[in-house]
Amino acid sequence: MKDLVAYITSGYPDKNFSIDLALTLAQNGVDTLELGIPFSDPVADGPAIEKANQRSLEAGFKFKDLLEISEQIAPKVDTLWMGYFNSFYQQNMDLLLPKAKEIGLKGFIIPDLPHEALVLMKKLPKKK
């Protein structure tokens, strides 16, 4: 059997809607949810996601909103963060990775991750 994966832009149209939508998707068969991190220059995304990013940012989306959304949904559906490397890098990866694990995040999708950053991430200490 194959998994059903859905994508939503975090904070669009607002944080509470994102949480409600994510939980509704989980209750209706979605196995994995990709939470898109709004970015001001989403060069690899299509027009619909670009507009959702722009509207989320215009409404005041901050990275802390992603954390709050994820804390509500990750215990109920496998959750991945999808975004551009800059969004992750600005958060201090040494702090972000343990926080993501604590929340219960299943992983990241970072399409523009530079090889050098991947090498550094692999060198981070592993928790036992």
Q: Which of 34, 50, 68, 71 is catalytic?
A: 34
Residue 34 a catalytic site member: yes
CA atoms within 13 A on the CB side of 59: 19
Residues 89 and 91: their CA atoms lie apart, in Å, by 5
Residue 58 a catalytic site member: no
Q: How far is CA 46 from the centre of its chain?
A: 17
What angle do helix axes 15-27 and 63-73 make, rounded to 10 degrees?
30
Q: Which residues are catalytic?
A: 34, 45
